[in-house]
Structure 1
Amino acid sequence: MLTSAVSTTNGPIRGVEQNGVRSFKGVPFATAQRFAKATPPLAWTEPRRCTDYGAYAPQPGHLDQADEEACLSLNIWVPAADHPLPVKFFIHGGAFVTGGGADYDGSFLAAHGPAVIVTINYRLGPLGFLQLHRYGLTEANNLALQDTLAALDWVRANIANFGGDPDAITLSGQSAGASMVIALATLPQARGKFIRALALSAPGRNIMSADHADDVARRVLEELGLTRDASAITTVPLPELFAAMERGSRRLADETEQGTLFGPVLDGMVIAREPRDVFADGSLCDIPLWLGSCRDEMVMFLKSTPPAAMIRTTERQVRASFGDAGWCRLLSNYRATARVDEDPYEALLSDAFWHRPMADLARLHAAAGGAVWLSRFDHRPALEPFLSQGPTHGADNACLWAHLPGFIDRPILKRKGGPMTPADIDVAARFQASLLRFVTTGVPDVEQAWPRFAPGNEPLAIFGQPFHIVPLNDGARFRVWAELTEQSRPEVVA
């Protein structure tokens, strides 16, 4: 059933109501020409039908379903309520190259919050992350992050008309989206526009250097033969542009600390400071923060063909920090302490690239006086690729968006959903409830069974069967890391 019209700053829209939840899909929050900053869409006067997901952001595998100028849309799910509801603002992942809001149906979470759920699209790959301001395209820097900020501004300005509370917005994201959350949260432009932040599986290095971004731009322009006329990139057909990106990525991915081609860039303009420094100086100490990861993050990337570049770059970074002897000592320790079903090499890389950087960020926020919770997802969902690969990257996200008792389809990712086992339902229900409590109250566990992370007290919540808490700084692996880190510190000369 169509809803009554809801006013927005651009014009009235109508959605669909089903099972007590109103949904509005493909709502345009901005429009953008290639390599230009997003601007508000043209206004309309007659109610606009927003019942289907909008165009995908251009990306490999979906260029035929993409629309460069019309891809900046968002989706809203609103349950019935007699008071303004908190808002979960979700930024999707996909290595900064793929994905979209259409992969996440928020109706189940909205009904069980109750909360307003918002998913967004932002520009991807070269269109969202190629830094071209040094080549005369003056607006082409951190465009994807600016898209996301425009979406946040739209939600702040309009969500009250849908029943949401604009002063109770939680930034949330997974994988690349988690990196976007961490970067966005530290921007002065976003200050006061959100009250909580949730980042699941953020890569170890959240920000690309300006030098690396310049290398990427130069390589892509070289692939296109446009080093003498960079402005011509605005008219290159999408297939050619993405093919050039792919060719350049094979050479460049190995050269970045993150093992990926794109990401938010410390450009001195949109992002003026390293986000970790902002967390460390206490600027965000009033923002509750939940940081999570999956136990076997790296399995998916090890099993890709060929193995992801981040595998090689992570090993190289550890060797650079501790020397070959330190690397061998770590690997030997992981082999001696491995579970029966654990790959020691994968576990070491998962700790180095995912788990330890998240713990470091938690320590910075806690030391500055901020409330922070740290979690790890140890459950293996009965859904591929997790059924065969274990709780690898994205396992938590599959359970977070599930419509119990079933996993949902992911049309952009081209993954089918399916029925959940009793164990899936048990773990997913706990995970969803914790997230919705965080969105609603700023605390993921009202019974205090999961204490906040603090200096000298570093609890790690394990989402598995059963849910339990373990000390983060315990065990032989932690001790080896601590010893190697201490040995690698430069000596202070008096």
Structure 2
Amino acid sequence: MLTNAVQTTLGPIIGAEQGHVRAFRGVPFATARRFARATPPLAWTEPRRCTDYGAYAPQPGHLDHGEESCLSLNIWAPVGAKRPLPVLFFIHGGAFVTGGGADYDGAFLAAHGPAVIVTINYRLGPLGFLQLHRHGLGEANNLAISDSLAALDWVHANIANFGGDPNQLTLSGQSAGASLVIALATLPQARGKFARAMALSAPGRNIMSADHADVVARSVLAELGHDASAIASVPLAKLFAAVERVGRRIADETSSGTVFGPVLDGTEIPREPRDVFAEGSLRHIPLWLGSCRDEMVMFLKSTPPAAMTRTTERNVRATFGDAGWERLLACYRDSARRDEDPYEALLSDAFWHRPMADLARSHADAGGAVWLSRFDHRPALEPFLSQGPTHGADNACLWAHLPDFIDRPILKRKGGPMTPDDIDVAARFQTSLLRFVTSGASDVAEAWPRFEPGREPLAVFGQPFHVVPLNDGARFRLWTELSNRTNDKSKMRVAG
């Protein structure tokens, strides 16, 4: 059944009722020419039907979708809310090259919040992250960031008409989306437009340097040869093929093992986001940071193994020396669980878990409220059934419509029935998220206290849910010893 028309700043829209929830899909919030900043689309006067997901952002496997029409968002809002509801604004992951809001049906979360759930599209791959401005070929840098800001502006201006409270909005994202959340949260343009932030599995090096962006841009332009000056009109298939070839060549040369990401360009992103958190200007923003226990398994088992696995080892060796690396690996072997790959666990800590803990520490030291979690549950759904609680396991449970996992049409992953353990862990995870979105606290304080200087609790979502001290165990002590030694040597070099 169709909903009544809802007025927006661009014109009225009509959605569909989905049980006790109204769903509005494919709502345009902006349009953009290739390599140009997003601008508002043309307004309309007649009610616009928004019952189907909009075009996917062009990406491998989906290059036939319109570039200018991919900037849309989706809204799920409970029917008959008696008060303005908190808003979850979610930015999808996909290594900055794949994914879309259509992979996340927010009806279940909306109904059980109750809350208003928003998922967005943004430009991906070269269309969202290729930095051409310094080469005189683009209008702006960090276009995916400006897309996300445009979506946030639209939601802030319009969400009250859908029953949402624009002053109670939680920025959230997973993987690449978590990197965008961390960057967005620090930007002056986003100030006052969100109340809380949640980042799941943000890569450790989530901001690219301007030098790296220049290397990528020059490499892509060279790969296109004579078409470089006309890159704005190169067929998408040719552009993406050139980017893929460049990625295969240079991914191992990057610090993160990935080609794209938000760039510290000095203009769109003027400062390193982690420095902004550390200085305390975001201390008023409650923060939830989470990761999955076996993050790196998925990347080690890819064919060939993802470049980030090799660059992570290289970075650890560069920081602590070969002897430090060997000491760490020996420690992980000595303390490994029966089902644990020590090499994978070391890489997961180095690339995912420790950087998240460092960010939590910075925010807490600056006076901010922060909660840190790890997802240890193995969902009965591939690829997690065979790979364990690897990258995205928490996300699968977060968006589940209990008692079922949902389909992911863009990633071409089928959902399916959940086991009792799946349902138990997912229900706890969803409840904690909705409590955070509603109140800025992740759980009752006794069950999951906040992360504070000298007291660093880590909530573990598994069977059963439990909390453990982060700063404990042989692994933590060795990392601390090696880090302190490296810092002491750096200070001696500076003093000398």
CA distance in 2, matches of 1:139, 1:288: 35
Question: Offset at 1:137?
Answer: 2.9
Aligned equivalents of 1:250 and 1:429: distance in 2?
40
In the other structure, the counterpart of 1:78 is: 77
Q: Retained in 2: the 8 A contact 1:178–1:200?
A: yes
Q: CA deviation at 1:448?
A: 3.1
1:454 maps to which residue?
452
Please name the residue that 2:314 is paired with: 316
Partner SS for 1:363: helix
SS in 1 for 2:17: strand
Query: Within 1, Cα distance between the matches of 2:319 and 2:327?
Result: 13
Count matched residues.
491
Per-residue deviation, residues 262-310 of structure 1 (Å, max 9, x unmatched): 0000000000000010000001000000000000000000000000000
Please tell me whether residue 470 in structure 1 is matched to residue 468 in structure 2.
yes
Aligned residue identity for 2:137: L
By how many angstroms is 1:447 displaced? 4.8
The question of whether the paired residues in 2 share the 8 Å contact of 1:136 and 1:231 is answered with no
Which residues in structure 2 correspond to 1:256-267 (within 5 Å)? 256-267=254-265
Tell me the TM-score normalized by structure 2. Answer: 0.98
Contact 1:24/1:76, CA 8 A, preserved across alignment: yes
Matches within 5 A, 1:404-423: 404-423=402-421
2:89 aligned counterpart, secondary structure: strand
1:203-239 deviation per Cα after TM superposition (whole angstroms, max 9, x unaligned): 001100000000000000111004xx74400000000
Large movers: runs of 4+ above 6 Å: none
CA distance in 1, matches of 2:445, 2:422: 23
- Once the two structures are superposed, the pairs formed by residues 67-146 of structure 1 within 5 Å of their partners are 67-80=66-79, 81-146=81-146
One-letter amino acid matched to 2:462: G
**Partner of residue 47, structure 1:** 47
Structure 2: gaps spanning 5 or more residues: none
State how far apart, in whole Å, the 1-side matches of 2:158 and 2:400 are: 27
1:249 equivalent in structure 2: 247
Aligned residue type for 1:75: N
Deviations 1:73-108 (A, max 9, x none): 000000021110000000000000000000000000
Distance (whole Å) between structure 2 residues aligned to residue 142 and residue 173 of structure 1: 17
1:11 corresponds to: 11
Q: Is the contact between residue 25 and residue 73 of structure 2 (CA under 8 Å) also seen in structure 1?
A: yes
Please say if residues 149 and 184 of structure 1, whose CA atoms lie closer than 8 Å, have aligned partners that are also in contact: yes
Contact 1:29 1:154 in 2 (8 A): yes
Q: Which residue number corresponds to residue 178 of structure 1?
A: 178
Q: Indicate the residue corresponding to 2:232 in structure 1.
A: 234
Question: In 2, distance between residues paired with 1:265 and 1:272?
Answer: 9
Task: Give the distance between the partners of 1:428 and 1:365, measured in 2 at CA.
Answer: 27
State how far apart, in whole Å, the 2-side matches of 1:99 and 1:71 are.
12
1:198 is aligned to: 198
What is the aligned partner in structure 2 of residue 435 from structure 1? Answer: 433
User: Is 1:63 aligned with 2:63?
Assistant: yes
Post-superposition CA distance 1:33-88 (Å, at most 9, x none): 00000000001000000000000000001112x11000000000000211100000
Please give the secondary structure, in 2, of the residue aligned with 1:63: coil
Give, in angstroms, the shift of residue 339 of structure 1: 0.4
Aligned-pair Cα RMSD in Å: 0.9
Distance in 2 separating the partners of 1:15 and 1:437: 27
Q: Secondary structure at the match of 1:225?
A: helix
Moved more, 447-456 or 393-402: 447-456
2:28 corresponding residue in structure 1: 28
Q: TM-score, normalised to structure 1's length? A: 0.98
SS at match of 1:199: strand
Corresponding position of 1:388: 386
What does residue 330 of structure 1 align with?
Answer: 328
Using the aligned pairs only, state the percent identity.
82
* 2:276 alignment partner in structure 1: 278
SS of 2:5's equivalent in the other structure is: coil
- 1:82 and 1:258 mapped to 2: Cα distance? 47
CA contact (8 A) 2:26 2:73 kept: yes
Matched residue SS, 1:410: coil
- How big is each residue's C-alpha offset from its partner over 1:370-426, in whole Å with a ceiling of 9 and x where there is no partner? 000000000000000000000000000000000000000000000000000000000
1:150 and 2:140 aligned: no
Q: Decide which of 349, 358, 361 is 1:360's aligned counterpart.
A: 358
Contact 1:359 1:374 in 2 (8 A): yes
Q: 1:141-176 CA deviation, whole Å, 9 max, x = no partner?
A: 000000000000000000001110011110000000
> Is 1:343 paired with 2:341?
yes
> How far apart, in 1, do the equivalents of 2:40 and 2:418 lie?
41
The one-letter amino acid of 2:68's match is E
| Counterpart in the other structure of 1:160 | 160
Q: CA deviation at 1:139?
A: 1.9
Distance 1:252 1:111 in 2: 45
Displacement of 1:138: 4.4
| Counterparts of 1:462 and 1:376, CA distance in 2 | 5
**Residue type matched to 2:128 in 1?**
G
d(CA) in 2 for partners of 1:301 and 1:87? 32
Tell me the secondary structure at the aligned position of residue 159 of structure 2. helix
Q: Per the alignment, in what secondary structure is the counterpart of residue 444 of structure 2?
A: coil
Tell me if structure 1 keeps the 8 A contact 2:160–2:166.
yes
Aligned equivalents of 2:113, 2:185: Cα separation in 1: 23
Query: Deviations 1:330-352 (Å, cap 9, x if unpaired)?
Result: 00000010000000000000000
Q: Tell whether the 8 Å contact from 1:135 to 1:231 is kept in structure 2 after alignment.
A: no
